[in-house]
Amino acid sequence: MKRQLILENGEVFIGNAIGANCARNGEVVFNTGMTGYQEILSDPSYCGQIVTLTYPLIGNYGINRDDFESINPAIAGLIVKQSADVPSHWRSEMSLNQLLLNKNIPGLEGIDTRRLTKVIRVHGTLKGRICDMNIDVNEVIKELNETVLPTDQVSKVSTKASYASPGQGPRVVLVDFGAKKGILRDCIKKQFDVVVVPHHTTAEEILRLQPDGVLLSNGPGNPKDVPHAVEMVRGLLGHVPIFGICLGHQLLALACGGDTEKMRFGHRGSNHPVKDLTTGKFMMTSQNHGFTVRPESLENTDLKVTHIAVNDGTVEGLRHDKYLAFSVQFHPEASPGPEDSAILFDQFVSDIKTKKAGIQYA
């Protein structure tokens, strides 16, 4: 069955239907990872987005039990060049198409995804709709141009209630803005005694849990759509070590008086080189973000840039001058992608130890 992607700029891509038989709107973004489609489509930061994958063959190693980043993928749609019908891997339990059907996600295959990616690179991310062929294309283009992207994405994917993952180590409160399971997995590896709390938890409520550290998770949408979280981070600064990942990084910047802006087409992939300005070393990182911290906005703040993206020089890491707080725009938990930056969890542990030892910082 034929199905199409209609973009707000009037371009139409026709391919074959995979996954759920339904129409859906979303912001069309691209990811350049060669593997990791299961993690990508279940990463809650893609909530409401239609993701196109530039690697041409997707689904070849199937879908397994272990590699989900959330139980219910929040992705709006998936677009691929070729979807493998017969996956081959010892861990595979179902095909990509089966998963998309089970989770009610519409997909499209047979698309020239590299051409689609070039369109996005030129225009920036575009609103689009995956839908059947029997539709008035001009009407859809008009509607797409009139709609605005939703601003309530975080509340859709954040946990509704707090829960605990007990451990023998330091107590870490993980603020869930749509946290990837990979972050929790790394916390468990470090034996943290984790309490996961919803996005609207206040600083006072968090401090009442007597945390040794607070981890601000990744999450979908514009960081300015969650001003209550900025307030919360402000209330925690100086009281407890903070580690921010992706959306958490952007929230730390806003809480300290910095500013963020939308990027033209963002960074999404598993091979983004980042330079650590402290050591001069480079690392390969997993990335998925459409917003970035404006470096010039940091001039009158206590934040220092610690990492930059090699491809475009954008801010990738921050550290507070006076308080134990640092953040990265990329994903040290990987999933999917390289684990070069997993060491940042050790840095968090080191900050926690510094605080516990009562050592004055800065």
341 binds ligand GLN (CB under 6 A): no
Active-site residue list = 246, 331, 333
225-262: b or e for each residue (b if 16 or more CB lie within 10 Å)? bbeebbebbbbbbeebbbbbbbbbbbbbbbbbebbbee
Q: One symbol per residue from 231 to 250: x for binding ligand GLN (CB under 6 A), - otherwise; what is it? A: ---------------xx---
The phi and psi torsions of 9 (rounded to 5 degrees) equal -85, 5
Separation between Cα atoms, residue 239 and residue 250, nearest integer Å: 19
By CB under 6 A, the residues from 34 to 53 that bind ligand GLN are 45
Annotation-wise, does 219 bind a ligand?
yes
Least Å from the CB of residue 127 to ligand GLN: 15
- Number of residues counted as binding ligand GLN (CB under 6 A): 11
By CB under 6 A, the residues from 17 to 36 that bind ligand GLN are none
- Cβ neighbour number for residue 304 with a 10 Å cutoff: 14
Annotation-wise, does 288 bind a ligand?
yes
238: region left, alpha or beta (phi > 0 left; psi from -120 to 50 alpha): left
By CB under 6 A, the residues from 277 to 306 that bind ligand GLN are 288-291
Cα→Cα distances 329→73, 270, 278, 309, Å: 22, 13, 16, 9
Contact pick of 62, 211, 219, 332 for ligand GLN (by CB under 6 A): 219
Residue that is written with structure tokens 């516990």 in the block:
356
Task: Identify which of residues 59 and 219 has a Cβ nearer to ligand GLN in the complex.
Answer: 219
Annotation-wise, does 45 bind a ligand?
yes
220 binds ligand GLN (CB under 6 A): yes
Task: Identify which of residues 36 and 221 has a Cβ nearer to ligand GLN in the complex.
Answer: 221
Annotation-wise, does 317 bind a ligand?
no
36: region left, alpha or beta (phi > 0 left; psi from -120 to 50 alpha): left
Annotation-wise, does 250 bind a ligand?
yes
221 binds ligand GLN (CB under 6 A): yes
Task: Identify which of residues 291 and 348 has a Cβ nearer to ligand GLN in the complex.
Answer: 291
Separation between Cα atoms, residue 126 and residue 148, nearest integer Å: 11
Are the C-beta atoms of residues 32 and 131 closer than 8 Å to each other? no
Select the span of 97-105, 163-171, 213-221, 226-234 touching ligand GLN (CB under 6 A): 213-221
Select the span of 161-169, 181-189, 217-225, 310-318 touching ligand GLN (CB under 6 A): 217-225
Least Å from the CB of residue 15 to ligand GLN: 26
Amino acid at 162: S
- Which residue, 291, 297, 296, is CA-closest to 329? 291
Task: Identify which of residues 13 and 243 has a Cβ nearer to ligand GLN in the complex.
Answer: 243
Task: Identify which of residues 6 and 76 has a Cβ nearer to ligand GLN in the complex.
Answer: 76
Separation between Cα atoms, residue 362 and residue 349, nearest integer Å: 18
Cα→Cα distances 26→43, 83, 99, 121, 324, Å: 15, 21, 19, 17, 38
H-helix segments, 161-202: 181-189
Query: Residue positions in the annotated binding site for L-glutamine?
Result: 45, 219, 221, 247, 250, 288, 290-291
Query: Residue positions in the annotated binding site?
Result: 45, 219, 221, 247, 250, 288, 290-291
Binding site for ligand GLN (CB under 6 A): 45, 218-221, 246-247, 288-291
